[in-house]
Amino acid sequence: MYILYLDESGVQEVGAGTSHFVLLGIAVRTDQWKTLDSEIERTKRPFDLEGIEIHAGWMARRYSEQESIPGFDALDRPARRVATQTAINRRAGVLGVGGNPKKIKAYRVESKKIRPYVHLTRSERIDCLRAVLTELSRWPDVRIFADAISKSDYAPGRYTPYELAFEQIVSRFQAFLAKHGILGLIVSDNNATAAPRLTKLSRKFHSDGTLYRDIHNIVETPFFVDSALTSLIQMADLGAYALRRLIENGEDALWDIVEPRAERFGNASVGVRHYTGKRACSCRICTAHGRQ
Ligand SMILES: [Zn+2]
């Protein structure tokens, strides 16, 4: 049996935030998940992040507070924590004097999100992301299924970008399971707005099939978990981030590591799609998918 861990990167609202919405699933054999899960934890240990959530977006960004500290990289980790926290307090103080409650609140959220990682330099944080992806890619039975939707090419229809991507992933996961004559289930990050709709949509797929195929090998509707406590959901978050950065910015450093785990059929990478509507696209994903 396989478990498909599902998470997203980017926002699905058209015209807001990112140019793409990416949904990505990592399929793991149930008899391997425990070892894989503990290997990922072990990989986080040299970065003093064991038991701490890996959140790609917050880890990969530049921290201006760290960059404002002379000789930051040469400090040891406890000293970096103290120095960054001092810089955070100073900035919060400055914002407080300005008195814009929205800005103060946003900064409070931001500083809380980066707090678990402030003992690491940016290059160490990226090294950590690369290390956990490298561990994941070492497992030959792991498979990646993903859909990246170009929001400017998306025409509003029966499904939102999230649902459109979900239908694609369910269809391809089903095809994979049928090919191997096994069962699978889906575990998703608990997203308060998406969860009820995904459950409803899954029920519909079970009774009517997706646009592409009947669903015989996926059991139940998705189970929802807390990403902070489930390391393979964090890996799906990281994979989705890597794919979005590749498509939006041409950054291939992270995607290169996991791309070999994308489901293939012959020479075509059938597990990952870049949706561009009727617009032709010759990007690396579309070429590998056989669209070009
Ligand atoms: Zn493309």
Residue 190 pLDDT greater than 70, yes or no: yes
| Cα 256 to averaged position of ligand 1 atoms, centre (Å) | 16
Distance (angstroms) between ligand 1 centre and the Cα of 282 equals: 5
pLDDT of 45 reads 97
Residues 112 and 144 in one domain: no
Measured over the CA atoms of residue 241, residue 182, residue 206 and residue 171, the dihedral's sign is positive
Share of the chain above pLDDT 70, in %: 99
Provide the pLDDT confidence category of residue 186 given band limits of 50, 70 and 90: very high
Q: Is residue 51 in some structural domain?
A: no
pLDDT score, position 267: 76
Q: How confident is the model at residue 290 (pLDDT cuts 50, 70, 90)?
A: confident
Q: 174 and 97 share a domain? A: no
Helix/strand/coil (H, E, C) string of the chain?
CEEEEEEEECCCCCCCCCCEEEEEEEEEECCCHHHHHHHHHHHHHHHCCCCCCCCHHHHHCCCHHHHCCCCHHHCCHHHHHHHHHHHHHHHHHHHHHHCCHHHHHHHHHHHHHHHHHCCCCHHHHHHHHHHHHHHHHCCCCCEEEEEEEEHHHCCCCCCCHHHHHHHHHHHHHHHHHHHHCCCEEEEEECCCCHHHHHHHHHHHHHHHCCCCCCCCCECCCCEEECHHHCHHHHHHHHHHHHHHHHHHHCCCCCHHHHHHHECCECCECCCEEEECCCCCCCCHHHHHHCCC
How far does CA 95 lie from the centroid of its chain? 32
Range 251-271 average pLDDT? 89
Global pTM reads 0.93
**Are 77 and 161 part of one and the same domain?**
no
270 CA → ligand 1 middle, Å: 13
In a domain, 247, yes or no: yes
The reply to whether 56 falls in a domain is: no
Range of the domain at 103: 64-117
Q: Which of 244, 58, 94, 102 is closest to 161 using CA atoms?
A: 244
* Cα 106 to middle of ligand 1, angstroms: 34
- My answer on whether 78 and 171 are in the same domain is no
Residue-level pLDDT at 12 = 84
State the distance from the centre of ligand 1 to the C-alpha of 288, rounded, in angstroms. Answer: 9
Long-range contacts of 44-50 (CB under 8 A, 24+ apart): 44/128, 44/131, 44/132, 46/131, 47/120, 47/124, 47/125, 47/127, 47/128, 47/131, 48/77, 48/119, 48/120, 49/116, 49/117, 49/120, 49/128
139 & 10 share domain: yes
What's the total number of domains in the chain? Answer: 2
With a CB cutoff of 8 Å and minimum separation 6, the contacts of 73 are 121, 123
Residues 35 and 151 in one domain: yes
Does 191 lie in the same domain as 92? no
**272-275 and 143-150 beta bridge pairing:** parallel
* In the predicted structure, residue 292 carries a pLDDT above the cut 60: no
The CA 245 to ligand 1 mean position distance, Å, reads 13
**Residue at 127 is within a domain:** no
User: Do 12 and 103 reside in the same domain of the chain?
Assistant: no
Structural domain includes residue 155: yes
Question: Which has the minimum average pLDDT: 38-47, 88-97, 128-137?
Answer: 88-97
CATH at residue 233: 3.30.420
In a domain, 59, yes or no: no
Least trusted range by pLDDT, from 97-101, 103-107, 118-122, 123-127: 97-101
pLDDT band at 104 (very low <50, low <70, confident <90, very high): confident
Residues 265-277, mean pLDDT to the nearest whole number:
87
Q: How far is the CA of 291 from the centre of ligand 1 (A)?
A: 9
35 with 70, same domain: the answer is no
- Domain annotation covers residue 125: no
| Average pLDDT score over residue span 49-62 | 95
**88 and 34 part of one domain:** no
Q: Confirm whether 54 is domain-assigned.
A: no
Residues 35 and 94 in one domain: no
Q: How confident is the model at residue 291 (pLDDT cuts 50, 70, 90)?
A: low
Determine the distance separating the centroid of ligand 1 and the alpha carbon of 259, expressed in angstroms: 15
152 plus 79 within the same structural domain? no
